[in-house]
Structure 1
Amino acid sequence: MENIQLTPVEGGICAPQGFSAAGVHCGIRHNHSKPDLAVIKADVRCTGAACYTTNKVYGAPITVDREHLADGYAQAIVVNSGNANTCAPNGIQLAKDVCALTAQALGVAEADVLPASTGVIGQAMSIEPFEAGVPDAVSKLDSSPAGSLAAATAIMTTDTHPKQAAVEFTLGGKVCRLGAIAKGSGMIHPNMATMLLFMTTDAALSHEVLQKALSEVVPATFNQISVDGDTSTNDTVLLLASGLAGNASVAADSEDYTVFVAALTKVAEQLCRELAGDGEGATKLLECTVTHAPTLEVARAVSKSVIHSSLLKAAMFGADANWGRVLCAIGYTPGDFSIDRTAVRLRSKAGEVFVCENAAYHPYSEEEAAKVLKEDEIDILVDLGCGDAEAKAWGCDLTYDYVKINGDYRT
């Protein structure tokens, strides 16, 4: 993937050809300054792919998504924030009714509309806000970067800023784009984080190849995020491909497929960093890179254990180079591997300190370490010294504000 040309571009989900988006306030949230409804529309019927939460309790929209995407096609997405529509009375019927409203306003088939919700679990939600909000959002659909930003803002809950990304690449001599918006701040833990993430591309791929690509990228990216150890009920990643770039449909395991996966991975990794860094109450993004692991599974598991450790997260908040907490997290990671040659380094833009060698103390300056750890992005570099596999995971520090936010989340 190193020789593949991927160029960042503006526009988020509206960067690819044939997509428009909008975000409005429809009344689900009491605060009128916060938009709470987004609509994303494709000019043509798209092939689609999806991944969802592994939580046994899951939102009603996921049930409807699975039904509507069973044929591999979709043309629109409707999303609300402020209410998760999970464990709520009549939730599935409500999700279907919202799809019907959206389909009528857009002039598309009801089965081609995919719903999503995020917010408080277990509260009833009525159709009334959607009856006014959906037509309003449809009237404001915008294919410019402003449309993507409006939608990205409308799906936020406790996020502190909207999250979007897009890249440009070439498939079969045709210029293609892939864009995305995401939300997620708390209740984030593999597999899949507490996020809603919507991706669009103008590349041509069949439903089967699109799903293969998404299923390949998710385990290495979105499943590698952890903020607080809670796997959400509403995690949803949806990917729509319009084919309007005009490339020949991408075949699985072809050179073009490799390029598309690289583009998907680049956008996913950027959003992983944004989602983890914007964890509830967070002041620092933590990225753990594990190298020389015996297997990919071990590399992924170790990196997740490290960034998930509450003790380590608290130490990072306090700029304390307590490397023993890294070793502890590695040690309780499931799997058959040796820790005898483990080395740990802590790095930021302020420098790097070598704190552990062969699973034991390596002399370092506490002052220098504190300086490194005061930055807002910290790399935790773990070398297991027993193989060739590597993986990354993303998390954040654990702060006083996390408890404040979740102590009165509903009220």
Structure 2
Amino acid sequence: LGISSSVFLGVLNYGVVCPAVGTGPSVLLTDISMLTALNLMIDIQNPGATGFISGNYDTTKVVVDDAAQINIFAVDPVNVGIGMSLLGDIYQGTTIDNQQNITNLLRTESTVGLITGGDLVDDGGLDLTAEAGNGYIIDGMGAIKFVQWSDTPFTLLANTDNFILVNDLGNVIVSNGFTTDPTSIYLGRVVTDATGKRFIENLKFTMMQYGNKIEEYLTYALGSIFTNGCTVTASTNIQRAVNITEGLYYFGTTKFVPADGNDISFDQYYRDPPSSWTVVAGQQVFINGFYDNNSGTLAAVTAGYYTKHLLLLVGDGPYQKYFVVISQDQYATLLDAETADLPSVPTYFDLAVVRVASVIMQEGTNAIISIRDERPRIGFAPSATSGSAVHGNLLGLLADDHPQYILANGT
């Protein structure tokens, strides 16, 4: 059967019928319009049928055998909200030669979840309403399915956790456990006692701009995170300078690969009250005789006291840069310096500006005392101390009542 020109069919009992008789026919109907059918407008019963049908008709009155290789493109003028309907695989490409089948990508691999609505509303006592909403789930065949529901009032179970979700039929139900399963849309939890609600937890799993929400979570909840590298050690060429290895860190989904460097240069920062900062560019050695007492000028460190400076980094390539925020206190013991808070930093040292290490100095000692790892990492590893650069400094030597030590030769 082939009709390739515009055809208008008025009031019908049946429209196009292909019975399950004989060899499957080829059906080619283009630009066919059907006004009304008392029964079905298109009824393809033969599993061997092949072809293409396009036109304007009520898509709720179309039945096609699952085995039939029939492609359908329809504009539905009857059912508000349906618009265009497509049956068959979707191929896309910039040319005929490179087009690819993207049907499964759209039907099975897309993000699913809530689009709108779904708030849980307290109706008093054990009564609750799940507000109307809609979204997408994965159905039992592994394909995306659109579901929608109206306002749904119901009574919660007493003395338990009530997990509220929408199933693949578009029904709001109470489940016995938390789930992220894509075959349902999770709306939240309500914990009850014997007569009422202890709390309502609106915890909707939405799909709107999901990638942006992941980026928001990564940037605001986790911030900059190192995966490896950027280990800082004392320089062997210049006293009180440092070397750094190549590294890799992320801010959100943006990856930075800072290069390694020896005797690195940095900009030095200290506070200029009430809210400014003094910047000294192009520094290479860490100061050991001064600290930031918030007076606007650096103050001399008490003889033998310790300071704790903070090294930071931003970017990679030509925009890679280091900063050092000067210690904002002085400490009588090395232990005090190691356990002290890090210096506060300018407010604009956020986003992809990341901590690397704290460097502990001692007044009167022309060497770095210790370097502590301050890189933020998944697992939230605490600060770690490198070996001391001072040969005779045993960390913690004065932390008990045995400050003496004996040399290897016994003296």
* TM-score tier (shorter): under 0.3
TM-score, normalised to structure 2, is 0.22
Structure with greater strand share of residues: 2
TM-score, normalised to structure 1, is 0.22
- Structure with larger RCO (C-alpha < 8 A, sep 6+): 1
Larger Rg, first or second structure (1 or 2): 2
